[in-house]
Amino acid sequence: MALITIDQEKCVKDGICAAECPGLIINFKNGTPEVVKGAEHFCINCGHCVAVCPTGALSHKNLSPEECMEIKREFLPNPEQMELFLRYRRSIRSYKKKQIPKELLEQVIAIASHAPSGHNRQPVQWHVIYEREEITKLCGHVIDWMKWMIKEKPEMAKPMELELVVTGYEAGNDILTRGTPHLILAHGNRNDFSSESAATIALTWLELALPSFGLGGCWCGYFNAAAMFWSPLQKALGLPKNHLSYGTMMVGYPKYQYHRIPPRNKPVITGL
Ligand X SMILES: Cc1cc2nc3c(=O)[nH]c(=O)nc-3n(C[C@H](O)[C@H](O)[C@H](O)COP(=O)(O)O)c2cc1C
User: By CB under 6 A, which span of 36-44, 131-139, 165-173, 212-220 interacts with ligand X?
Assistant: 212-220
User: By CB under 6 A, which span of 86-94, 112-120, 151-159, 180-188 interacts with ligand X?
Assistant: 86-94
Give the number of other Cβ atoms within 10 Å of residue 185's Cβ.
24
- Closest to ligand X by CB, 69 vs 171, is 171
- Closest to ligand X by CB, 3 vs 233, is 233
Q: Which of 28, 130, 213, 219 binds ligand X (CB under 6 A)?
A: 219
For the bound state, the minimum distance from the C-beta of residue 268 to ligand X, rounded and expressed in Å, comes to: 17
Gap between the Cα atoms of 35 and 27, Å rounded: 6
Verify binding: residue 221, ligand X, rule CB under 6 A.
yes
Verify binding: residue 218, ligand X, rule CB under 6 A.
yes
- Closest to ligand X by CB, 209 vs 218, is 218
Q: Which of 14, 90, 143, 174 binds ligand X (CB under 6 A)?
A: 90
- Closest to ligand X by CB, 87 vs 153, is 87
For the bound state, the minimum distance from the C-beta of residue 203 to ligand X, rounded and expressed in Å, comes to: 9
Residue nearest to ligand X (CB): 221
Answer for the pair 203, 249: CB distance below 8 angstroms, yes or no: yes
Verify binding: residue 93, ligand X, rule CB under 6 A.
yes
Verify binding: residue 127, ligand X, rule CB under 6 A.
no
Q: Which of 222, 226, 233, 245 binds ligand X (CB under 6 A)?
A: 222
**Identity (one letter) of the amino acid at 247?**
G
- Closest to ligand X by CB, 95 vs 222, is 222
User: By CB under 6 A, which span of 6-14, 98-106, 130-138, 220-228 interacts with ligand X?
Assistant: 220-228
Q: What's the chain's Rg over C-alpha atoms?
A: 23
Number of residues that bind ligand X (CB under 6 A): 8
* b/e burial code for range 38-50 (CB count within 10 A of at least 16 → b): eeeeebbebebbb
> Closest Cα partner for 233 from 123, 149, 125?
149
User: In a 10 Å sphere around its CB, with 0-12 CB exposed, 13-18 middle and 19+ buried, how is residue 235 labelled?
Assistant: exposed
Gap between the Cα atoms of 193 and 60, Å rounded: 27
For the bound state, the minimum distance from the C-beta of residue 4 to ligand X, rounded and expressed in Å, comes to: 40
Gap between the Cα atoms of 247 and 262, Å rounded: 25
The residues that touch ligand X, with contacts defined as CB under 6 A, are 90-91, 93, 218-222
